[in-house]
Structure 1
Amino acid sequence: MIDDATVHEAAAVLRAHADKTEQDLRPAAESLDALRRSGILALRTPRERGGNWSDVRTITRYLAELGRACPATAWVAGTCVTAKNLVAASFPEPDAFDPFADPDALFCGSGMPGAQAERVSGGIRLNGRWPNVSGCRDAAWAGVAVMVEGAFSFAVVPLDDLVVEPTWRMAGMRGTGSHTLVAEDVPVPSARVAPMSGFGAADQLLYALTTLGPVVGAARGALDRIEAMFDSPRKPHMTSYTRMGESPGARHWLAEATHLVGRAENTMFSIARAADSPDPTAAADSRFRMDLADAARDARSAVERMLDLHGASGFDTGNELQRFWRDVAVGSRHPHLNPYLAVEGFGSALTAVTT
């Protein structure tokens, strides 16, 4: 059973292999093994199938803890949560097909319909493409949205039946390996196809938090490095100070960065509590998209302050700080955290205009 101690141990493994994850464009095997042993990959496996089915606040807290060590691997763990939530909602009573036979299997997927399917004897025949599927090189199953005779549907497909097209060439979150999945005349039995479910308001907050958690965790991880710098003999260059903490300006910037990270965390957990609320209307508040975007921008602004503090050497490719900076820069711009769409949606809600 997952607990804080096992997640902390897993985070230490992720931190030790973060560079390898980025270089290989996929989570290190050691990191994936640590996720599996800790129970992270079973966070949204139903309890009756041997999983944890943790609440949203617990999921968010653990993803942030992992993001503090390796944002890219935490991101892959978050997409596994999303995929399993969609599978559990779409296949609530497994019969001929049990997607959770291995409760700790890594899932990947896409909720955007990237394929058309035709009905054939015993199921469907699948053709299509799904871009930006994080963790697809290492997942056992892909849950993908598909249109079946005009109906928005969900199919669960073994990765061995799909082609991974290497299209992920990003500056940040490189280790997520978010390549394109391709289906070419793939037969999928009817037991693995169902109407798409799992897009209620609380579900949508969960999916957004699986992207925000690693981003805010990354900002906290960057702050860990800056705090260590303040504890070291390092001093501001071209000054008479003997340590960073002697500079009023440096202390001011540290305070601002720390405040921004803390505010992002507080916002994030406030949203997670709403997603866990027993009141079904609590998660539907249109302001939450604004809050999600604000938390992401706070994380990004905090890391910018930290790079100002560190100076140009923070961009050395051997410095962890620049990796956190790139991962936050890319992750915080995910569509779930999009600020201008959040403003647009909130404005429409305020004026009762539908878009």
Structure 2
Amino acid sequence: MIEHSNAVAVLRAHAAKAEDNDRPAPEALEALRENGFFDLRTPGDTWADAETVARQLTSLGRACPSTSWVAGTCATAKTLATRAFTGGEVFGDPDALFCGSGIPGGRGERGPEGVRVTGRWPNVSGCEDAVQAVLGVLVDGAFSFVLVPTADLTVERTWHVAGMRGTGSHTLVADDVLVPAGRVAPVEPFAVADAMLFAMTVLGPVVGAAQGALDAVNALFASDRKPFMTAYTRMGESPGARHWLAEATYLVQRAETTMLSVAREADGGALSPADAPRLRKALADAGRDCRAALDLMLDLHGSSGFHTSNVLQRFWRDVAVGSRHPHLNAYLAVENLGTALVQGV
């Protein structure tokens, strides 16, 4: 049973700690585990559809986008594990945290006992706290996934970025790790619905971050803060400030509406490859809406919004980084949609 309020309160209380340590706070991870957020894509009765995943991650991102991102990575990794591997022991603990990388960063050599894997996978969110990793590997030249306990891997702390710092997206390293044959599977083409789900796990935390920033700006309008160097006594007295607030609110709401609309299409089960360029363009636009909204909010707040103690600057940095994930690449989305239109796909 997923409980929002308990987990959200814990994430909000420990968001700064996550950023300071370049990994999710232990208290936040435990709250997600206890409240079922790592169980969203564990096979069984709790299996969540794309809209549910998007809504849940958005609610978490409103408090701590980085920790929400790690929950999304877990949903993606468990989806991949479900598609690739069989055996109930894979999900013996339904609330276990999984991580992963679809980059073929390693090579595997087959032997009588299984496949021996050596490689490096950068930007693996939550890797210091996950118990299993789904990793891309080239085995005999074939792109494959392997499922490896993170205890068999080492972590290089390479994640030093401006935003989404608390995701702990460090580098996983394998040095001649033996993976049983049953934990090696060729990568099959992803269904469009799965591809949209993967994008939801990225966009949900970004939309949540934009909503969290909007919470901070609404609090500004409810306070006695006034626009500096004006005769106004409160922010809300300024028509320009009201205009900017309306624009920012509209953009955040449009981003969420777009995201949920795509999620519902993915859940409808009737998507074909021809739908993918259009849907990816919509998701990329939602990410850009979040960035544009944050710019307006920082205009409203002024330079104090960039103070390191101000939550607004953290949301701004998290949106700036998270919305530029490859799943939300705006220029490639336009390129691919244009190609599809010209080819009549």
TM over 0.5: yes
The equivalent of 1:61 in structure 2 is 55
User: Is the CA contact (8 Å cut-off) linking 2:193 and 2:269 kept in structure 1?
Assistant: no
Q: Please say if 1:189 is aligned against 2:189.
A: no
Distance in 1 of aligned mates of 2:274 and 2:131: 31
Instruction: Figure out how many residues of one structure are paired with residues of the other and give that number.
Output: 345
State which of 225, 233, 239 in structure 2 corresponds to 1:242: 233
Distance in 2 of aligned mates of 1:9 and 1:197: 38
State which of 13, 16, 33 in structure 2 corresponds to 1:16: 13
Q: Residue type of the partner of 2:87?
A: P
Distance in 1 of aligned mates of 2:327 and 2:245: 29
Displacement of 1:193: 1.2
Q: Residue type of the partner of 2:312?
A: L
Distance in 2 of aligned mates of 1:285 and 1:32: 33
Distance in 2 of aligned mates of 1:325 and 1:7: 23
The equivalent of 1:76 in structure 2 is 70
Aligned 1:1-355 pairs, distance under 5 A: 1-2=1-2, 6-47=3-44, 52-91=46-85, 93-94=86-87, 98-197=89-188, 199-281=190-272, 284-352=275-343
Q: Residue type of the partner of 2:267?
A: D
Deviates more, 1:81-90 or 1:151-160: 151-160
SS in 1 for 2:48: coil
Q: Percent identity?
A: 63
User: Is the CA contact (8 Å cut-off) linking 1:57 and 1:276 kept in structure 2?
Assistant: yes
SS in 2 for 1:111: strand
Deviates more, 1:345-354 or 1:290-299: 345-354
User: Is the CA contact (8 Å cut-off) linking 2:22 and 2:160 kept in structure 1?
Assistant: no
Change (3 A) 1:283 1:14: farther
Distance in 2 of aligned mates of 1:135 and 1:110: 11
Displacement of 1:353: 8.3
Distance in 2 of aligned mates of 1:286 and 1:14: 34
Alignment deviations for residues 122-160 of structure 1 (CA, whole Å, 9 cap, x no partner): 200001111100000100010001111122211110111
Q: Which runs of 5+ in 1 are unaligned?
A: none
Distance in 2 of aligned mates of 1:198 and 1:272: 20
Distance in 2 of aligned mates of 1:38 and 1:197: 32
After TM superposition, the score normalised by the length of structure 1 is 0.95
Distance in 2 of aligned mates of 1:212 and 1:185: 35
User: Is the CA contact (8 Å cut-off) linking 1:85 and 1:198 kept in structure 2?
Assistant: no
User: Is the CA contact (8 Å cut-off) linking 1:90 and 1:198 kept in structure 2?
Assistant: no
Displacement of 1:8: 2.5
User: Is the CA contact (8 Å cut-off) linking 1:163 and 1:181 kept in structure 2?
Assistant: yes
User: Is the CA contact (8 Å cut-off) linking 1:165 and 1:181 kept in structure 2?
Assistant: yes
User: Is the CA contact (8 Å cut-off) linking 2:265 and 2:271 kept in structure 1?
Assistant: no
Change (3 A) 1:290 1:141: same
Displacement of 1:283: 8.2
Displacement of 1:195: 2.0
Deviates more, 1:150-159 or 1:82-91: 150-159
Distance in 1 of aligned mates of 2:206 and 2:166: 14
Distance in 2 of aligned mates of 1:22 and 1:41: 21
SS in 2 for 1:113: strand
Displacement of 1:271: 0.6
User: Is the CA contact (8 Å cut-off) linking 2:115 and 2:180 kept in structure 1?
Assistant: yes
Q: Root-mean-square deviation (CA), in Å?
A: 1.4
Q: Residue type of the partner of 2:246?
A: A
Displacement of 1:280: 3.8
Q: Residue type of the partner of 1:9?
A: N
Displacement of 1:166: 1.1
Distance in 2 of aligned mates of 1:247 and 1:329: 28
Q: Residue type of the partner of 1:82?
A: T
Q: Residue type of the partner of 1:67?
A: G
Distance in 2 of aligned mates of 1:282 and 1:224: 38
Q: Residue type of the partner of 2:13?
A: A
